[in-house]
């Protein structure tokens, strides 16, 4: 996606989600902390490259398999995260996310919990269509005008945000008593939308989240704080290992 179009998209996301919550821009309130609750660090990992990614096709609720590059990235990411102990692991129900999660959890005893609320945005009948073609014909979807509704079904940005929030609240609720690190394997736009809701100023990357990148968010005392977005250092660390 071109830089200019992403700039418009991201600005519009900020405008849309600003009205969806009264949380502060430096840390949204989620699952109010109580005495005895322990801090959590959520590791949002984007799935590896898929066939549709490679072909430039719309991929929301539709699915396509990981490419060899995507599998390799997931293996490297798993090695790069090896020193981090996870108390729990969650994944979107999409095959590409589950397959990536299995690579990341290889050799660990942490069970994988799937949640359909972690899925990517639903693009309706645009699924599997050329992303470039849709971008040219319907630029409003990339600008995320709050009044825009896809003529072919699918979700709006506020709808995507609401279910992503529901998934994150569940993760916090199920793990705040023990605290620690939680792996969450999900998707690019779903993650970016959620992060912009928390703190639009935290985004420093130019373009979509890279496949296999990690975005970290801390939950402490009932508030969420973005630590890092689109971090590819774990992939590089894994590549250096034999």
Q: Kindly tell me the number of DSSP H helices and DSSP E strands found in the chain.
A: 9, 6
Annotated catalytic residue: which of 49, 120, 155, 232? 120
Cα(192)–Cα(155) distance, integer angstroms: 15
Look up 120 and say whether it is catalytic.
yes
- Asked if 161 contacts 197 with a C-beta cutoff of 8 angstroms, the reply is yes
Which whole-number Å values give the CA distances from 6 to 71, 138, 144, 168, in the listed order?
27, 14, 11, 25
Q: What token pair was written down for 85?
A: 């102990």
Cα–Cα dist 134/10, whole Å = 18
- Kindly list the catalytic residues: 47, 120
């Amino acid at each position: 996606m071109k830089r200019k179009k992403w700039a418009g998209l991201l600005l519009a996301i900020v405008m849309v989600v600003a009205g969806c919550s009264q949380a502060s821009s430096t840390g949204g309130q989620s699952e109010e902390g109580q005495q005895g609750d322990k801090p959590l660090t959520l590791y949002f990992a984007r799935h590896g490259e898929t066939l549709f990614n490679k072909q430039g096709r719309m991929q929301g609720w539709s699915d396509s398999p990981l490419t060899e590059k995507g599998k390799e990235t997931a293996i490297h990411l798993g090695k790069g995260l090896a020193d981090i102990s996870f108390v729990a692991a969650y994944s979107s129900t999409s095959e590409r996310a589950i397959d990536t999660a299995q690579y990341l959890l290889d050799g660990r005893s942490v069970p994988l919990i799937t949640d359909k609320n972690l899925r990517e945005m639903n693009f309706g009948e645009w699924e599997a269509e050329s992303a470039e073609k849709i971008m040219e014909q319907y630029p409003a979807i990339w600008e995320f005008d709050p009044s825009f509704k896809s003529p072919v079904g699918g979700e709006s940005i506020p709808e995507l945000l609401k279910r992503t929030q529901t998934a994150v609240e569940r993760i916090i609720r199920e793990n705040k008593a023990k605290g620690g690190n939680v792996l969450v394997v999900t998707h690019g736009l779903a993650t970016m939308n959620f992060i912009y809701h928390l703190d639009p100023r935290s985004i420093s990357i130019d373009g979509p989240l890279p496949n296999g990148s990690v975005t970290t968010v801390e939950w402490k005392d009932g508030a969420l704080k973005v630590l890092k977005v689109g971090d590819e250092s774990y992939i590089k660390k894994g590549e250096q290992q034999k």
